[in-house]
Amino acid sequence: LIDQVLKFYVKLNFELNESVLMGGFDWARVQFAENEGMAFSLSLGGSYGKLILSLFRIIMITAIIWYIRQSISALAPGGFITALALIAAGAIGNIIDSAIYGLIFTESIPGQGPAHLISAGESGYGTFLHGKVVDMLFFPITDIHLPDWLPVWGGENMLFFGAIFNIADAAITCGIM
């Protein structure tokens, strides 16, 4: 629920690529990005790739939910069930974006203001299972100085975490960890 509320807020109030500092910190931002594929903006390419990815997600969510039910019946440890539930909840959060956002929102285009919910007679930017996943959490910590002795990157400042992600992605990551 938190994931979807935050995604709706960002989609309706931010222009694509717009960034706002969190708490005044340069290393913590809400930055609106859209992801057509999977983690780290990887994709299978084309509309068929997007469809295959969306169908794969639905099959995996179904399998995980079935496995959670079996694990509960088998009295599996609560931590294990919680981890599976985090993965399933995160996957559901992202599949909601892919399944319906293209149907209910106008396209987000840099420099043209925030998207809006479509009204009667208006079309969304995509079709069922072809929506884009909304990402918004960005923590570009760049104050990490790599030691001079390190091959290739020695002496350079490193961008510690350059990925833009959402609450669903964080749930999946925590569940896997």
**Residues 58, 60, 62: CA angle, nearest 5 degrees:** 70
Q: Is 135 part of the annotated catalytic residue set?
A: yes
Interatomic CA distance for residues 55 and 172, integer angstroms: 18
Q: Please pick, among 3, 143, 148, 169, the residue that the annotation labels catalytic.
A: 169
Q: Is 143 a catalytic residue?
A: no
3-state helix, strand, coil in the chain (%, to 5): 45, 15, 40
Selection from 174, 167, 173 nearest residue 136 by Cα: 167
Catalytic residue among 26, 97, 135, 148: 135
Strands (E), 40-110: none
User: Cβ distance 88 to 174 under 8 Å?
Assistant: no
**Sign for the pseudo-dihedral over CA of 115, 59, 162, 140:** positive
Return d(Cα 131, Cα 86) in angstroms, integer.
22
In angstroms, the CA 131 to CA 138 distance is 21
Task: State the Cα–Cα distance between residues 149 and 139, nearest whole angstrom.
Answer: 27
Tell me which residues are annotated as active site: 135, 169
